[in-house]
Amino acid sequence: MKPKFIISGGGTGGHIYPAIAIADKLKAKFPDAEFLFVGAEDRMEMEKVPQAGYPIKGLWISGLQRSLSLQNLAFPLKLISSLSKSNTILKKFKPDVAIGTGGYASAPLLRMASLKNIPCLIQEQNSYAGITNKWLSGKVQSICVAYEGMDKFFPSEKIRFTGNPVRQDLLDISSKKEEAIKFFNLDKNKKILLVLGGSLGAKKINELIEKSLTLFKQHNLQVIWQCGKYYEDAYKNKGNENVKVLAFLNRMDLAYAAADFIISRAGALSVSELCIVGKPVIFIPSPNVAEDHQTKNALAVTDREAAILIRENELDATFESKFSELISSEEHQKVLSENITKMAKPNATNDIVEEIEKLMNLN
Ligand SMILES: CC(=O)N[C@H]1[C@@H](OP(=O)(O)OP(=O)(O)OC[C@H]2O[C@@H](n3ccc(=O)[nH]c3=O)[C@H](O)[C@@H]2O)O[C@H](CO)[C@@H](O)[C@@H]1O
């Protein structure tokens, strides 16, 4: 019998790529399996999931805005419409297990799946649980997490401490450096700084990089600068032979492989990937996310002397000195690399798939 998996996660890369990593591992284990993704109609997953080779259906759903907004008026309608469409999709596809990795679309889909007694697993990437996963936690069988202390949010008997699922092609990048340098059209004799603004790009980081281009030049660095699609028009004219400005990196494996140093936001998946990549990192967490969870994600690493943390409000005062110190000290770079590698959880996807297999046996 062919197993069938329905998977929902989206809104941003931080919810989409864990879903794809889980699907890839399930596919390797069950080559005959059928997959169906469910996302939010107008979000990034509608493009990224088909690119990864999986079919996806879109729901008409969005989150509630924190401020008073006209969009909130449509929310009840959207919820009813997406619950009803989820019901139709589930009836037709008849999955063995439903998997949710956070984001709006996973709420109606997994709620309907649990009502139909389909075993459900959710995966929470952050140290602070998202609203969708908190809402679903009472209804699902298994909750895979990446941080300790998640029993503040979820029933403890359902929690599995697996780590975040990272795409397979990011697990071994050590042999890809030469290919990566060619891919980005860079010079192998100069060091490379990779700048990551998270899947949507980060305004503050872009402003910092623009201001620091002279500093990078003084250090004879080349830069791969992922600026985010909303900022591409503003920054693409800063590109030259030493500075590659890209809206989005479709080959993260090569970007990580090329890098000697990394400046990054501290979204949960980025942090998990950077632990596996094992290079010196400066985290600049977004202060604009729920409960300041990116700072917490970063602190879990920097508390172990495994990366450098610079908060946005300290950038003007300390970025230049901290960056220059790191670039100039091979010893510091080595300590950071060794310590961050110790925090990697490369078996996370395997462990999550084992949990899913247990749920398949419940049917
Ligand atoms: C502003 C915001 O709400 N950010 C949240 C969002 O971040 P965001 O969507 O930025 O997510 P993460 O940093 O966790 O992960 C980004 C993912 O996108 C991939 N990637 C990124 C850039 C690129 O050019 N190419 C590419 O493939 C990364 O390799 C990674 O797999 O979800 C995370 C996980 O729930 C949260 O911790 C973040 O706080």
One domain for residues 18 and 125: yes
CA 43-103-162 angle, 5° bins = 130
What is the distance in A from the centroid of ligand 1 to the CA of 48? Answer: 13
* Distance between CA atoms of residues 72 and 242, nearest Å: 45
What pLDDT is attached to residue 305?
Answer: 97
CA 46-84-110 angle, 5° bins = 65
One domain for residues 137 and 182: no
One domain for residues 179 and 271: yes
**Residue 101 sits in a domain of what CATH number?**
3.40.50.2000
One domain for residues 323 and 262: yes
What is the distance in A from the centroid of ligand 1 to the CA of 308? Answer: 19
One domain for residues 286 and 353: no
Instruction: Please report how many Cα atoms fall inside a 13 Å half-sphere around the Cα of residue 63, on the Cβ side.
Output: 15
Q: Radius of gyration over alpha carbons of the chain, in Å?
A: 21
What is the distance in A from the centroid of ligand 1 to the CA of 189? Answer: 30
The answer to whether the annotation marks 272 as part of a ligand binding site is: yes
One domain for residues 76 and 223: no
One domain for residues 119 and 201: no
One domain for residues 189 and 325: yes
Identify which of 216, 236, 237 has the alpha carbon closest to the alpha carbon of residue 226: 236
What pLDDT is attached to residue 311?
Answer: 98
Q: Give me 48's structure tokens.
A: 């990224």
Which residue's alpha carbon is at the smallest distance from atom 28 of ligand 1? 270
Which ligand 1 atom sits nearest the alpha carbon of residue 167? 31
What pLDDT is attached to residue 346?
Answer: 95
Sheet holding 192-196, edge to edge: 243-246, 222-226, 192-196, 261-264, 281-283, 308-309
One domain for residues 196 and 130: no
What is the residue-level pLDDT of the chain in tens, covering all 363 positions? 799 999 999 888 889 999 999 999 999 999 999 999 999 998 999 999 999 999 999 998 877 666 656 677 778 888 899 999 999 999 999 999 999 999 889 999 999 999 999 999 999 999 889 889 999 999 999 999 998 899 999 999 999 999 999 999 999 899 999 999 999 999 999 999 999 999 999 999 999 999 999 999 999 999 999 999 999 999 999 999 999 999 999 999 999 999 999 999 999 999 999 999 999 999 999 999 988 999 999 999 999 999 999 999 999 999 999 999 999 999 999 999 999 999 999 999 999 999 999 999 766
One domain for residues 156 and 281: no
Strand partners of residue 245: 225
The answer to whether the annotation marks 270 as part of a ligand binding site is: yes
The answer to whether the annotation marks 223 as part of a ligand binding site is: no
* Distance between CA atoms of residues 344 and 70, nearest Å: 43
One domain for residues 135 and 240: no
Overall domain count for the chain: 2
Structural domain harbouring 254: 169-342
Which residue's alpha carbon is at the smallest distance from atom 8 of ligand 1? 14
* Distance between CA atoms of residues 344 and 300, nearest Å: 12
- 288 class by beta-carbon count within 10 Å (0-12 exposed, 13-18 middle, 19+ buried): exposed
What pLDDT is attached to residue 130?
Answer: 87
* Complex ipTM: 0.98
One domain for residues 155 and 215: no
The answer to whether the annotation marks 314 as part of a ligand binding site is: no
